[in-house]
Structure 1
C-alpha cells in the first residue's frame, strides 16, 4: 500500500509540473507598457478631459514624455472628434424604453514634428447595450456611467495599440539603405 501511495504522489507531482510547463509555453504574458516609436508626444486634448488624462498616464508609464508644446514633440496626436451618444434600442408594449445603446466615437490622427502623417485619420467606435427600468432609475444611471468609463478604458488601450503599431509604418517610410 505505501508503494501505491508513493506512486500516486509522484504521478500528481508530475501532472502538476506538466500543467505548469504547458501553461508557461502557451505564450501568455501580462500586458506591459506600450512600446511607442517616439520619445515625446503632444496630446491635443482639453486640460479637463478624462480621456486625455488616462491616455497621458499610460503613455508616461511606457517611458514617453508628454509635452505641452507642439514644437517640442516628435509626434502630435490631433483629436478630430470625441462624442458620446445614447440611442433607444427597444421599446416594450406600452411604448416605454427597455434598452439603450451607448456609443462612444473617437477620431484622431498623428503627425510627426515636420507635419507628415504617421497615422491617418482613424475612427474608433465603441458600443455597449444597457437595459432600462424606470423603477431603478438611479441604479441605471450609475450603470451607464460605469459603461462609459469602461468604454473610455477600452478606447485608451486601442489608441495605445495604434500608436505602437505606427512604429512599423514609420520604419517603412525611412530612407532605404543602399547595398
Structure 2
C-alpha cells in the first residue's frame, strides 16, 4: 500500500510534468490552412498515393478539390512517383541481410495559366528493413506496411508545403 507521502510525490510529479508540457507551447497540429480556395490535382489518378492525396485534400475544411483545371486557383502536378528497393547489406554467404526502401515524389504547383508557385520539387524518404528468407511472408507484409507509412509521410509533407505556399 502506498503511503500518503509517496502518493503526494507521485501526484506532484504528474502535475509538474503536465504544467511543463503545457508551458512549452506544445499543441496538436490542427487542420492545414491553405492560401487558396480551390485546387486541382494533375496526374496519379489511380495510384495509391494519388488516391490518398486526393482524399486528404477533399477533407480540408477551407479548400475545395475541383475536377477541372480551369476552375482551380492552383494546380498540383504530380510529375513522378516511384518506390525503390535497394540492397543495403549482405551476409558472409552473399545473402541479403538488409534492404533500403526509398520512395520518391516529384511535384510542382502552378496556376492554370502556367505560372509556377512552387518549382519541381522532389521529396525522398528512406526506410531500412532487415531481411530473413525464413520469414518471407512477414517481411513482405512489413515492406508493404513501410511503403504505406512512407506514402502517408509524403502526403503530409505535400500538404505542409501547400499550406506555406506564396501566392505572389
Q: Give the TM interval when normalised to the shorter protein.
A: 0.7 to 0.9
Q: Which residue of 2 aligns with 1:177?
A: none
Q: Which runs of 5+ in 1 are unaligned?
A: 174-179
Deviation at 1:17, TM superposition (A): 4.5
* Structure in which a larger fraction of residues adopt helix: 1
CA distance in structure 2 between the partners assigned to 1:148 and 1:32 by the alignment: 25
Q: Over residues 129-166 of structure 1, what are the superposed CA-to-partner deviations in whole Å (9 max), with x where a residue is unaligned?
A: 11111111101100000000010000001101111111
Task: Report how many residues are paired.
Answer: 164
Residue deviations 1:23-61 (CA, integer Å, cap 9, x gap): 212111112111111111011133322112222222222
Task: Please name the residue that 1:40 is paired with.
Answer: 38
Q: Which moved more, 1:15-24 or 1:40-49?
A: 15-24
Which position in structure 1 is the counterpart of 2:54?
Answer: 56
Is 1:72 the counterpart of 2:74 in the alignment? no
Aligned residues of 1:71 and 1:113 also touching (Cα < 8 A): yes
Residue 150 of structure 2 corresponds to: 151
Residues 102-141 of structure 1: matches in 2 within 5 Å? 102-141=101-140
Structure 2 equivalent of residue 83 of structure 1: 82
- Alignment RMSD (CA, Å): 2.0
Contact 1:33/1:58 (8 A) holds in 2: no
SS at match of 1:29: coil
From the superposition, tell whether residues 95 and 15 of structure 1 become closer, same or farther in structure 2 (CA, over 3 Å): closer
Mapped partners of 1:145, 1:13: distance in 2: 43
Q: Where in structure 2 are there 5+ consecutive unaligned residues? A: none
CA separation of 1:11/1:132 partners in 2, compared to 1, >3 Å: closer, same or farther? Answer: closer
* TM-score where L is the length of structure 2: 0.88
2:40 and 2:76 in contact (8 A); partners too: yes
Mapped partners of 2:7, 2:93: distance in 1:
65
TM-score normalised by length of structure 1: 0.83
